[in-house]
């Protein structure tokens, strides 16, 4: 123990279920591993109960609460991975921006970036241990608390997605303010994206040092960029993050964990993403598995991509959709997931049906192939 009751990132329990990690690395698996984006979420009554008395970002800053929320879905479902409960917007907070969670509206920046001069208000050098150490503590505590049940995934938002929030001041259907920067202030946009990438690199390396066994980079707003803007303002940083994280992990003698890139609605960039340095490419539900495999090739694992709304269907129908998805992707070099996160009004029993269907159908296909 250190710092009173703080666990150290060493002496972790032996991993009992490495199916997710093997699939990520392209190794043979007995069943297709499955986890869900936003699996620790408001669809679970126990999540709502734990979160009831706490401000959202105060919850994110509590390692104990983050650990509890991360573990809750694992108690209900035989998932093959856990993902740390946190939020992508902790990175803009580390740069000095203030964000409040407004009921019915979501995360809102009190002073979004409006002019290029506003970049000067951001911290130009970020000590990730000082600013985001609470995430590292949550990862270490959770890794110990998992008792080796499944691997723990760490994550970050990607630069363009974070930049868009910082300029829009919250969610947006068009991202017009953020995109206008790309056209009007390309140099300043690159300065901001570079600053974000540098923080993200240190943040992801810190997560591995704390105990994360895989990393996912969320480029959630890729769909707002066309091929050219993505090529100029998103892809270079996505590539650089993978390369720099792996280089630093080697330098610091840390495990070379698998990395996942999830660029939502970026069908136009799948070939580029396949060569961006990630072991896994995550897919949303708007692309056919066969098309994705044809573009990405056989040397990268695919993750996804059931429409989250399919979980509103009866359980039998969920089973049919899962079977079709597995037949389309194949059971190897594949991690089952949704094409986006779980929604708050979803029935936990239907999430359970999804997880169980992936295991049952993939085992059946493997046995008879």
Q: How far apart are CA 80 and CA 153, in angstroms?
A: 11
Could you confirm whether 42 is annotated as catalytic? yes
Q: Which of 42, 76, 239, 363 is catalytic?
A: 42
Out of 22, 51, 293, 333, the active site residue is 51
Least Cα distance to 158 among 306, 273, 62 occurs for 273
Q: Cα–Cα distances in Å, from 53 out to 27, 48, 49, 87, 101?
A: 44, 9, 8, 18, 14
Decide: residue 89, CB within 10 A, 0-12 exposed, 13-18 middle, 19+ buried.
Answer: buried
Please, what's the b/e burial string for 161-185 (b: 16 or more CB within 10 A of its CB; e: otherwise)?
Answer: bbbbbbbbbeebeebeebbebbeee
Handedness of CA 354, 152, 142, 56 (dihedral sign): negative
Tell me which of 43, 80, 165, 278 is the catalytic residue. 165
The rounded distance, in Å, linking the Cα atoms of 99 and 201 is 22
Is 87 one of the catalytic residues? yes
293 assigned to active site: no
User: What contacts 345, CB < 8 A, 6 or more positions away?
Assistant: 43
**Of the listed 76, 87, 307, 343, which one is catalytic?**
87
Task: Retrieve residue 256's tokens.
Answer: 């070379």
Are 357 and 323 contacting, i.e. CB atoms less than 8 angstroms apart?
A: yes
363 among known catalytic residues: no
Active-site option among 22, 38, 143, 333: 38
Question: What residues act catalytically?
Answer: 38, 42, 51, 87, 165
């Amino acid at each position: 123990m250190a710092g009173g009751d703080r666990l150290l990132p060493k002496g972790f329990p032996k991993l009992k279920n490495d199916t997710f990690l093997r699939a990520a690395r392209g190794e043979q698996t007995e069943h297709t591993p499955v986890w869900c984006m936003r699996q620790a979420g408001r669809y679970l009554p126990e999540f709502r109960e734990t979160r009831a008395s706490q401000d959202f970002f105060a919850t994110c800053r509590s390692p104990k609460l983050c650990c509890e929320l991360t573990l809750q879905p694992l108690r209900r479902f035989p998932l093959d991975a856990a993902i740390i409960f946190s939020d992508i917007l902790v990175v803009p907070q580390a740069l000095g921006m203030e964000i409040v969670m407004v009921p019915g509206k979501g995360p809102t920046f009190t002073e979004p970036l409006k002019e290029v001069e506003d970049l000067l208000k951001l911290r130009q050098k970020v000590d990730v241990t000082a600013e985001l150490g609470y995430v590292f503590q949550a990862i270490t505590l959770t890794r110990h608390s998992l008792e080796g049940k499944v691997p723990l995934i760490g994550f970050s938002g990607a630069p363009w997605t974070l930049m868009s929030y910082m300029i829009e001041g919250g969610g947006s259907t068009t991202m017009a303010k953020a995109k206008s920067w790309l056209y009007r202030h390309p140099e300043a946009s690159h300065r901001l994206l570079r600053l974000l990438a540098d923080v993200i690199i240190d943040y992801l390396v810190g997560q591995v040092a704390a105990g994360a066994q895989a990393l996912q980079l969320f480029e959630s707003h890729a769909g707002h960029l066309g091929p050219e803007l993505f090529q100029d303002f998103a892809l270079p940083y996505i590539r650089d993050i993978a390369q720099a994280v792996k280089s630093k992990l080697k330098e610091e003698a840390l495990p070379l964990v698998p990395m996942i890139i999830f660029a939502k609605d970026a069908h136009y960039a799948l070939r580029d993403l396949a060569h961006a340095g990630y072991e896994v490419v995550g897919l949303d539900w708007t692309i056919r598995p066969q098309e994705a495999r044809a573009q990405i090739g056989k040397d990268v694992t695919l993750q996804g991509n059931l429409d989250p709304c399919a979980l509103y269907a009866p359980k039998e129908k969920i089973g049919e959709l899962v079977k079709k998805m597995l037949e389309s992707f194949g059971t190897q070099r594949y991690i089952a997931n949704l094409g986006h996160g779980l929604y708050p009004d979803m029935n936990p029993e239907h999430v359970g049906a999804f997880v169980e269907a992936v295991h049952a159908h993939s085992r059946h296909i493997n046995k008879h192939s």
